[in-house]
Structure 1
Amino acid sequence: MRTIGRSLALIAFFLLLWEGLVIVAGLPRFILPPPSLVAQTLWFSRSLIAEHALITGAEVLIGLVLGAALGFFFAILLATSRTARAILRPALVFSQTVPVFALAPILTLWLGYGLWSKVAMALLIIFFPVTSAFYDALMRTPEGWIGLARVMGANRGRILWHVRIPAALPGFASGLRLATVYAPIGAIIGEWVGASRGLGYLMLLANGRAKIDLMFAALIVLAILTLLLHAAVDRFGRWLSQGRI
């Protein structure tokens, strides 16, 4: 409760400082709207913002599920196959030398202006941290645990499922938490490149019409969505870290 109270107090102080800065400096609303105006816009445009927020939320959630699943199985493949490590690991590292954002126009060209080009952007951002964190955790399984399982007659498959994967779940959860923070960025970049719906599209539209208060309102909703998603994934990660699989 104390942490929540301090956070709310910090937010209130920031909003008052923001409001005061706009009033004292006399900044025009198309440069920096006061938080009171942003709050009004958020309320009166709530239906419009909610409509676009649902689209962005769907893009992020689908990308998160697909990226986490692919990262999970890809990490297992790398950890259990020397051939896969020799061939795929260098390719995985090389893929990170290309900025994901630079692929947005290509993905939009290939997948169109609809949902799936944004899902692909989110997936690409999610995939690497999940794969990397889970793979590293799998490779750090204590040798004593593996040796004990072998003494008890466990084969490679049982060792993987009952020893290595449970021991590496905290690493998978850590990678998933990190990916969750960046996943909305991929969806928003995709919407900026080409979309007719979503918070990124709404922000571009508002900016083009000099409705900066609407742009800030959409940005606040995006931040809230990211925080809620991170909280949900964090709770899921704690559940995973307890070995429940």
Structure 2
Amino acid sequence: MNRRLQNKNIMAPALVFILLLAIWECWVDLKGIPLYLLPSPSKIALSLISERGDLSLHAAVTLEETIIGLVIAFLFGLLIAVLMDRFSLFRKAVYPLLVVSQTIPVIVLAPIFILYLGFGLAPKILIVVLMCFFPIVINFADGMGQVDINQVNLVRLFGAGEWKVYTMIKIPAAASSMFSGLKIAATYSITGAVVGEWLSSNSGLGYYMLRAKNGFMLDKVFACVVVIVILSLCMNGLIKLLEYAWMPHCRTEKTKENGLNQI
């Protein structure tokens, strides 16, 4: 019974999505809407096939910028989160600045980064770091703040120093929160790289999208959007795989839950 319910939960949005595509296709064909105004899904699919070579090359550039930026944001985020958890004064001083940093539109900061860092990879990577940094820091710091104090006191009673407390108790206990932040960051990461490419680049999906838009080739623009969505979902899926590898107990609990649901 539960399996049927799960299948319905999957099929329902899939059918709605297919229905929307069918309505879109029929509307464009019946109204004779030109390609430069709104391409039909079939035209977008044909562009994905015909432009797969160029899209693959530009996607590889965007993916490189994304992965480098996400890794830097992850490492830097872990460091800041640990410092925020360890020193309350540091948290009080830094937390408002982190919140303020998220109120500034990245599109405004990007030209400043280009001015100081040039037109290479650096400004795109920095934009990815800024977009991914906040959810990692906040989720991980909050996760460590919710660790059972009795566990911390117990290892300290056995003579563990601060390094041992974090490596043995706090970081493992907050790993789930850390991966929650990483999933959010991974979804944003592709968008950050594309925004950077809009402003200064001669390659990447952002550059490809601008070039197609300037040529009024909206089928290629939409095809590029599809690739961006797919890459974002893949990045999110990659983080989930890393989570399962890092925390095998999550996989075990998920298996038990599925077993109970089937019963």
Which of 68, 72, 80 is the aligned partner of 1:66?
Answer: 72
1-structure distance, mates of 2:179, 2:147: 16
Give me the TM-score of the superposition, normalised by structure 1: 0.92
Counterpart in 2 of 1:107? 113
CA deviation after TM superposition for structure 1 residue 169, in Å: 0.6
Counterpart in 2 of 1:152? 158
Counterpart in 2 of 1:89? 95
2-structure distance, mates of 1:99, 1:238: 34
Counterpart in 1 of 2:227? 221
CA deviation after TM superposition for structure 1 residue 87, in Å: 3.3
> How many residue pairs get matched?
244
Tell me, yes or no, if structure 1 residue 143 matches structure 2 residue 141.
Answer: no
Which of 180, 195, 201 is the aligned partner of 1:195?
Answer: 201
Give the letter for the 1:104 counterpart: A
2-structure distance, mates of 1:7, 1:111: 44
Aligned-partner SS, 2:174: helix
Q: Percent identity?
A: 34
Point out 4+ residue stretches in structure 1 off by more than 6 angstroms.
none
**What CA deviation, in whole Å up to 9, does each residue of 1:28-67 have, x standing for no partner?**
1111111111111111111111111111111111111111
Aligned-partner SS, 1:97: coil
1-structure distance, mates of 2:88, 2:218: 53
2-structure distance, mates of 1:106, 1:73: 26
Counterpart in 1 of 2:133? 127
Counterpart in 1 of 2:26? 20
Which of 231, 241, 246 is the aligned partner of 1:235?
Answer: 241
CA deviation after TM superposition for structure 1 residue 236, in Å: 1.4
2-structure distance, mates of 1:95, 1:63: 17
Counterpart in 1 of 2:258? none
Quick check: 1:177–1:237 contact (8 Å CA) kept in 2? no
Give the letter for the 1:29 counterpart: L
Aligned pairs for 1:41-52 within 5 A: 41-52=47-58
Quick check: 1:78–1:84 contact (8 Å CA) kept in 2? yes
Quick check: 1:54–1:198 contact (8 Å CA) kept in 2? yes
Counterpart in 1 of 2:179? 173
Counterpart in 2 of 1:79? 85
CA deviation after TM superposition for structure 1 residue 146, in Å: 1.2
**What CA deviation, in whole Å up to 9, does each residue of 1:152-207 have, x standing for no partner?**
33222211110111111111000000111111111111111111111111111111
Quick check: 1:134–1:171 contact (8 Å CA) kept in 2? yes
Aligned-partner SS, 1:31: coil
Aligned-partner SS, 2:134: helix
Aligned-partner SS, 2:203: coil
Counterpart in 2 of 1:162? 168
Give the letter for the 2:175 counterpart: L
Q: 52-61 or 24-33, which moves further after superposition?
A: 24-33
- Structure 1: gaps (5+ residues): none
2-structure distance, mates of 1:112, 1:121: 13
Q: 80-89 or 214-223, which moves further after superposition?
A: 80-89
Cα distance, 1:185–1:109 mapped onto 2, change above 3 Å: same
2-structure distance, mates of 1:42, 1:158: 52
CA deviation after TM superposition for structure 1 residue 101, in Å: 2.5
Q: 92-101 or 58-67, which moves further after superposition?
A: 92-101
Aligned-partner SS, 1:89: helix
2-structure distance, mates of 1:178, 1:72: 15
**What CA deviation, in whole Å up to 9, does each residue of 1:61-86 have, x standing for no partner?**
11111111110111011111234224
